[in-house]
A and B are shown apart, each in its own frame.
Chain A
Amino acid sequence: MLEVDGLTVRFDGVEALRELSITVPTGARVGVLGPNGSGKTTLFNAISGLAGIAAGTIRLDGMTISKLAPHRIAAAGVARTFQSVRLFQRLSALDNALPSVGAASSHEARENALAALDTVGLGERRDTLAGDLSFYEQRQLEIARAIAQRPRLLLADEPTAGLSPAESDHVIALLGRAFGAETAILLIEHKIAAVEALCPRALLLIEGHVAADMPTREMMSDRDLASVYFGSRLTP
């Protein structure tokens, strides 16, 4: 279970997150919506240890992770994917998927990585350099890497960005099927259908705090919230 309590992050005097509090139970799938600049990626960066925290605490399964170095947070069970694909381009698909956490031995790590590549459909491409993979395959490889880490919490930052509608559907379906009830998923997405397909619950971030936290379907049908998200053009 992820517990974020009173989280504040500042950049150069601007509050990117303001006393933000959320709780994500083990195995939950929660969409994170909000306009550009509302703090979605900053929230992910704060949880994974990449953004300096001005105030507040973050706990994962009862352990305070907000003061840990990023590699210790990963070891505590946090995995993430990036909005713009981030892979080791000069390493093979298998080397990219090999986890540095979540496996007791290098043999187990290798087994996990091979299984993860098979899950996303890249088993045949394991020796190919990540830089030689197609963009869609690179997106899949990012997910394989997360699967192999056996995380307690996956932070998926727009995993369908740049993909066709059909590819996006595949990626969302993959996220739903590849992670079990022991992994919670926080999903940043601009494609509403993708959030609805994976996440029964959604958060709406506005200017660094949680403006709404409710079932995704209700949020979609709430006219006032929809207008915040889509702009006033769509409101009658």
Chain B
Amino acid sequence: MDTYVITVLSNIGMISFVALSAYILLLSGQISFGQQAYFGIGAYTAGIATVMWQWPIAGALVLGALAASVAAGLVGLATLRLSGIYFAMATLAFAEIMRIAAELFVYRREIGGVETGPDGIDGFRDIRYFFANDISPFQSCLIVYALLAAVLAALFIVERTRGGRLLRQVGEDPLLAEVQGIDVMRVRMAAALSAGAVAGLGGGLYAHLMTYVEPRSFDIMLGVHALAYGLIGGLGTALGPLLGVLIDIGLLESTRIFRGYRMIVFGGLVAVLLIVRPRGLLDEVAISRIRQALRRRRHAGG
């Protein structure tokens, strides 16, 4: 396969993790402008694990996801009682603090005769695990999609069981959910922890596929895009945010049609959709219609 195509596909896959992370929080009714921070924490942690401590990639990715999840839990303890614009501001502030902290973060050691590790504003270079282990770009792309499929499968299962219903109930009307016996804070905390882990996993993959990560890799634009993907693609299914990523990176960024105008087209698309379809293309109503149509067809066929 063409390397360009592989790179685009890998990008779509990696960004999808942040989009799904923002989506989980959107379902629970919280708008976070800070999911990129967990992406960054996952990237740095997983990179440090393979480069500095010579961990295998699987352990490093798990550690990155865990570290991001713990950070999300701590931020959640402080912010989950906020809502609306206050929560959004708090998450954005935290993400900026993390980005600036990464600019100051220096952790250098000599590994195999070469000094390496995070170097403040210059970032963390030479995360060469895939290269050193003869994993081709195509193979690493497959790893990205295998893990993305696993996260999607987990989300589908959650959505079809009690967890998904609780998440949507809390997201739509927290007061009504509370009065019906749902511990809203617990549901929101569970959402924050899993959203942090998903973003952290994406970050760990990013660090290894790109072979470097720097504070700029997870600035505010990543968080804004992550939110927009769910809002464009739709909040009725976990496939919604993926559709959003596909539209943005697959169509706008990677083809020549809109070259140079990507942000204009993307911004316009977000604005139009927020007016005509505030919960995205694949919103709850669309998904419900599709499900009912499928059910009727199954009944008619069987």
A binds B: yes
A91 touches B172 (CB 8 A): yes
Q: Chain A residues near B175 (CB, 8 Å)?
A: 50, 70
**Nearest Cβ on chain B to A85's Cβ, whole angstroms:** 11
A127 at interface by CB-CB < 8 Å:
yes
B180 touches A74 (CB 8 A): yes
A71 touches B284 (CB 8 A): no
Q: Name the CB-closest residue of B to A110.
A: B162
A101 touches B292 (CB 8 A): no
B176 touches A88 (CB 8 A): yes
Of the listed stretches A53-61, A92-100, A201-209, chain B binds A92-100
A98 touches B165 (CB 8 A): yes
Q: Which of B167-195 contact A (CB under 8 A)?
A: 168-169, 172-173, 175-184
A51 at interface by CB-CB < 8 Å:
no
B180 touches A99 (CB 8 A): yes
**Contact flag A71-B182 (CB < 8 Å), given A50-B175, A86-B176, A129-B285:** yes
**Nearest Cβ on chain B to A48's Cβ, whole angstroms:** 6
How many contacting A-B pairs (Cβ < 8 A)?
70
Q: How many residues of A contact B (CB 8 A)?
A: 29
Complex: A236 Cα to B76 Cα, angstroms: 64
**Nearest Cβ on chain B to A59's Cβ, whole angstroms:** 19
A99 touches B181 (CB 8 A): yes
A69 at interface by CB-CB < 8 Å:
yes
Contact of B162 among A50, A69, A89, A106 (CB under 8 A): A106
Tell me the dominant secondary structure on chain B's binding face.
helix
A75 at interface by CB-CB < 8 Å:
yes
User: B148-179 CB contact bits vs A (8 Å, 1 = yes)?
Assistant: 00000000000001100110110011011111
**Nearest Cβ on chain B to A76's Cβ, whole angstroms:** 9
A71 touches B184 (CB 8 A): yes
**Nearest Cβ on chain B to A61's Cβ, whole angstroms:** 16
A90 touches B291 (CB 8 A): no
Contact of B181 among A71, A90, A95, A131 (CB under 8 A): A71
Q: Chain B residues near A71 (CB, 8 Å)?
A: 177-184
A149 touches B168 (CB 8 A): no
Contact of B172 among A50, A90, A92, A145 (CB under 8 A): A90
Q: Name the CB-closest residue of B to A148.
A: B180
B83 at interface by CB-CB < 8 Å:
no
A80 at interface by CB-CB < 8 Å:
yes
B295 at interface by CB-CB < 8 Å:
yes
A88 touches B172 (CB 8 A): yes
B288 at interface by CB-CB < 8 Å:
yes
**Nearest Cβ on chain A to B81's Cβ, whole angstroms:** 13
Complex: A79 Cα to B166 Cα, angstroms: 17
A145 touches B288 (CB 8 A): no
B179 touches A48 (CB 8 A): yes
B165 touches A74 (CB 8 A): no
Complex: A75 Cα to B180 Cα, angstroms: 8
B179 touches A88 (CB 8 A): no
B165 touches A95 (CB 8 A): yes
Q: Which of B166, B176, B177 neighbours the largest number of chain A CB atoms within 10 Å of its CB?
A: B176
Contact of B292 among A69, A74, A91, A127 (CB under 8 A): A127
Q: Name the CB-closest residue of A to B288.
A: A129
Q: Chain A residues near B182 (CB, 8 Å)?
A: 71, 100
Complex: A150 Cα to B184 Cα, angstroms: 21
B181 touches A88 (CB 8 A): no
Q: Which of B267-302 contact A (CB under 8 A)?
A: 279, 284-285, 288, 291-292, 295
**Contact flag A88-B288 (CB < 8 Å), given A74-B180, A75-B181, A101-B181:** no
A92 touches B288 (CB 8 A): yes
**Contact flag A69-B172 (CB < 8 Å), given A90-B284, A106-B162, A129-B285:** no
Contacts beyond the supplied A50-B179, A91-B165, A129-B285: 14 A-B pairs with Cβ under 8 Å: A49-B179, A70-B178, A71-B184, A86-B173, A88-B169, A88-B172, A90-B285, A91-B172, A95-B168, A99-B180, A99-B181, A100-B166, A102-B181, A131-B285
26 contacts between A and B (CB under 8 A): A70-B179, A71-B177, A71-B179, A71-B180, A71-B181, A71-B182, A74-B181, A75-B181, A86-B173, A86-B176, A89-B172, A90-B172, A90-B279, A91-B165, A91-B169, A92-B288, A95-B165, A99-B180, A100-B181, A100-B182, A101-B180, A106-B161, A127-B295, A129-B285, A131-B285, A145-B180
A-B pairs, top 10 by smallest CB distance, nearest first, are: A74-B181, A101-B181, A90-B284, A100-B181, A70-B178, A88-B172, A100-B182, A71-B183, A75-B181, A71-B181
